[in-house]
Structure formats: structure tokens, C-alpha cells
A and B are shown apart, each in its own frame.
Chain A
Amino acid sequence: MAVLAYMENWDGKFKKSSFELVSYANALAELLETNIIVLSLGPVSEDELSKLGNYGARKIITVPDVLFKTLDNQVFSKVISVVAVNVGAEVILFSHDNAGKALAPRVSVSLKAGLVSGATGLPLSVDPFTLRKKVFSGNSFARQIIKTDKKVLTLAKNSIEVKENRGSVEIEVFQPDVQAGDFKIHMEDVQKQTGKVILTDADIVVSGGRGMKSPDNWGPIEELADLLGAATACSRPVSDEGWRPHQEHTGQTGKIIAPNLYIAVGISGAIQHLAGVSSSKFIVAINTDKDAPVFEAADYGIVGDAMKILPELIQAVKEMNAS
């Protein structure tokens, strides 16, 4: 028996969400009185792998083959399933991110293990194995039971505190029975945004809506984000109008994010927008309309003109950073 956690890497590096997943795996293994095994696919240095040991990983299986640099859902999930069987994994864990959502369903089918995607915490009970997850795009929660002996979960972001738990790590290299010809997905090129905080990783996000009136008014949003080390985001009409790139669009049909702080400027707070940001720890709303629905979701609010308020906030943050 074991809890197996699949650990995605980004160009050979792990992220906070990786450490969250190890912390979760550790807590779950404790609950199930079993041990945790981490699986990493693709080239990752020994140093980087060892970092997972700071959060409770004791055994890491790694497939350093460069073939695994590009995500191929079919091949990756096959290897994960093989390892899961080899180590006798009872639960297989993924982060609820692009890779986790791509792989968990395939692993679920190949192991005939029920899947709960976007679990928001540890099981409410282990028998029956019951998890909480958000449904209706964040408007409510469901309790879902997995009925099979083997289980697959994807873990929603910010669902567990990252917890240090240091110890020695054993790293085992695994060579799966996979050939280059098994990869059906061929990478042509990658475009990456550089020098900016990535929206899905950001602890703080400053977001603008149609209330910003024109793409020319984004200066203060960007300046405030810069000063706070934050990422920038926007509502859907703003990206539809081409005022901002579509990668910034948050909401039900855009990115779903869970930063510590989300500052919504000139955003009315439509249900579809809130669906993408309601898991933020704190929400700030700045809006001229005191009845805008965004204030129902917000923790702090200011009623007033963004173009007047933003410069004052920028000034206050400068003073804060200076002191």
C-alpha cells in the first residue's frame, strides 16, 4: 500500500503547488497509515528532487528521460499507471492544474480507480472514502464518494498549508518500457511570457474590468502590480475587446485562480467572473457603484473612481515598501 503523488515539473523546477501536493500526500498517508511515494517524469536535478524531502517525501521515483520533457497524456498516464501498480498504490494524487487534469482521468480509467477532481482537503471519511469538492463553478460544494479500492484525486490549489517535514530521501531511477515512437505529440515551439509574474502562480493579482474604460488606462494597474510583485488579470469583456491578452482573462471561461489577494478594479462581479476568483483568500473591490455585486464577494471595498484611487494606493505602497 502507498500514496503515490505525481509531481509535475516546469523546465526541471518545482513550484509551491508541488510542495502543497507533497504536504497533502504526507497528511493523507498518515491518515491511511501508509507511506508516500513521489513520481517525477522528465529531467529534474537531484538537488531539485531532494527539495521534496523537505515536505515529507521519503522515496522519489524519477524517470529522467528527455523524451518526457513534452507532456504526452497517453504515454505519461501509462507510465504513472505502471508505477502505481508496481508500488501497490492505493491512492494516486495530482495537482488540479493543466497537467493533473490531463492525466488523472486517463489514469483513473486504466486502473479502474474512481476519480474526484479538485478535492478541497483531506477526506471527510476514509470509509466510505469521501471528499469535498467545489461544484457549480464555485457556487457550492459536493461530497463525493469513491467506491473503488484504488482512488485517484486531483487537489485544488490552496487546499492545504505547505508543511515542512524534513528527512532523508531515497531517489530511485526508473526506466519504463517506452520508445520514442510511442510519443504521438510533437512539439514545434513554445512561446513563453518572460519577466512577468505568471497569473496562475501569483500570490497577489491586480485585475481590471470594463470600468477601466480604455486600454490606455492600464498604466496604474500595471504599476500597482509591479510594486506588489503581483500578476495582472482582467474580466472577459476586457480580453474580448482586445484591451488585454486573453491569457489574463479570469473566470468560469477563463483562468481559475486562488491567490492570497485579488484586487478587482472596475469589475462588476458577475457570477461567471467570481467563479474564477472566489477561492482567493482576500478580495478587494474598487468600484463606483456601491451596489455592484462584487462587494458581496469582497473582504475590503472602496466606492469610488479607480482613476483617482489607484494613484493613491500606488503612493501608499511606495511608502510601505520604503519603510
Chain B
Amino acid sequence: MKIIVCLGNVPDTTTKVKFVEDNTKFDAAGVQWVINPWDELALTRAMELKEDSGNSVDKVSVITVGGKNTEPTIRKALAIGADDAVRIDLNPEDSYVAAYQMAAYLKNEQELHIVFAGTESSDYNGAATGGMLAELLSVPSISSVSGFELEGDKVRISRDIDGGTEHLLVDIPMLAIVHKGIAKEPRIPAMRGIMMARKKPLNVVPPSDVEALTEIVGFELPGSKPPCKMIDVDNAKELIDLLQNEAKVL
């Protein structure tokens, strides 16, 4: 059985976000790129499932839609333990394009088993690619997945809902859109992994022809907000008064 992990490449979350060209482009100068946090957890979970001999997972592959600049991120995923990688050579303009490219590639897979995607990219917050990919592949998708166990040819899933968790049983093939809880801590590549990653296959494939459905035309930084009103520690009660009579939220 094979697990495919969709791997997004995003600016490190502490990046000071800036825009150029009259606020129409993200300023990538000096930015450190990382695996999208959810995808890092998804990959970690995929590795755990493969290492657990009770399961029949024999391969973990990662797939990215992106230019050559995404290769350091892909190599990191290989160092964490993925067996091989595919890069579809295109910078996607929107989630639909990313999903379409991956679907076009995955449709050629002999047998599709399990696909992991993250809840959202930490840069454009599309929250869409996983669901779109599942629809394009005509497979069931489960969102808000916080737990994933294999049980023979079925999957046992914890799905978060407002104020609770559902436990579900789903057949394979399926696509899981994962978030918090799927793995405890993201795995950090070990030296041996980094060495081995250099020799693992990273296949670059040409993109399919497809048009984006949406376009980002500009950015704005949030306006500056009024300074914080400080309340004297010896008069903490005043806070409640202000919340009640000034902010009117109590």
C-alpha cells in the first residue's frame, strides 16, 4: 500500500511579510522556505504508519507542484523519510491549478491508495487543494482529520467537529485532509536521512495545460491599530469597567 503526501512549499511562519511591484507581488527576497506545517505533520504520520510493521504500507511518496526553487523543501521531505518525490514543474496560480496538476499525474498511478493533504497553506490560505484533488480523482475526502489508523484495507479516522470528535471508518482509496493532532511533533531529518535523500529519486514532470479559475490582483497590509490602552496593575478592576462601558463587550 502506498501513501502519497501533497507537499506545499511556504515561507517560514516567522517571515516578515512584504509586498513589491505596487503591492501586487509577495517579496520573496531573503525568505526561508519550509514544508507547509500541516504537510510536515502529514508526512510524519505517513512515516509512522510505514514503520509500524502491523501495517502494509510499503511506500511513502511526496508530490509538489512548483518550480525548481521548491527542491530544497522536497529534499527535506526525502530526508525525513519519503521514498521518492515528484515535482510538477509549474508555479500554480491558484489551488485549482495545483489540484489539477496533481490529479492529472495521479490518474496515471496504477492503483491509488491513500493521499494526504494539509488543511491549508500558511501563505495564501486557500484551504482548497485537498478537496479539489479528491473531487478531480472522484475519491472520498475527509476533512479536519486529527487521527489516522489503518485497519486492514480500511481507515479509522478521527474527525474534529465543533466541540467534539467523530470516529469514522472509511474504505481505501481515500484522501485525508489533515490538521492538528495527526502527528505529535514534526520529524526532523537526521544526518543519515540527509545523506540518503541525495540519492532518492526526484522526478520532474512537465505540467498539463489548464487555466486558473481565480487570480490574486493585489495585497494590503493591515492598517495600524490604535495603541494598546494600558491599565495600572493596582487598579485591575478598571479593565472590567472599560470592557463593559467603552468596548461594550461584557
Contacts and interface: CB of A to CB of B under 8 A. Distances in A.
Contacts, number: 268
Interface in A112-146: 112-118, 130, 132-137, 139-146
Contact of B17 (A73, A103, A136): A136
Interface in B77-135: 94-96, 99, 119-120, 122-132, 134-135
A309 B234 CA distance: 9
Interface of A: 10, 70, 72-74, 77, 96-98, 101-106, 108-110, 112-118, 130, 132-137, 139-148, 154, 184-193, 196, 198-201, 203-204, 228, 240, 246-247, 249, 252-254, 260-261, 271-272, 275, 281-282, 284-285, 295-304, 308-309, 312-313, 315-317, 320
B177 A102 contact: yes
Size category of the B interface is 35 or more
A272 B14 CA distance: 8
Nearest to B213: A114
Given A136-B17, A204-B249, A315-B237, 16 more contacts: A73-B141, A102-B131, A105-B129, A133-B125, A139-B222, A143-B216, A144-B216, A186-B170, A190-B161, A203-B249, A246-B180, A275-B13, A282-B249, A295-B230, A300-B228, A313-B239
A98 B243 contact: no
Contacts of A135: 123-125, 219
Contacts of B250: 204, 228, 261, 317, 320
A101 B237 contact: no
Q: Which of A103, A117, A249 gathers the greatest number of chain B CB atoms within 10 Å?
A: A117
B128 A117 contact: yes
Given A246-B180, A320-B250, A148 B131 contact: no
B231 interface: yes
**B interface majority secondary structure:** mixed
B52 interface: no
Given A102-B141, A316-B240, A115 B96 contact: yes
Interface of B: 11, 13-15, 17, 19, 37-38, 94-96, 99, 119-120, 122-132, 134-136, 139-144, 146, 156, 160-171, 174, 177, 179-181, 185, 212-222, 225-226, 228-233, 236-237, 239-244, 247, 249-250
Contact of A137 (B122, B242, B244): B122
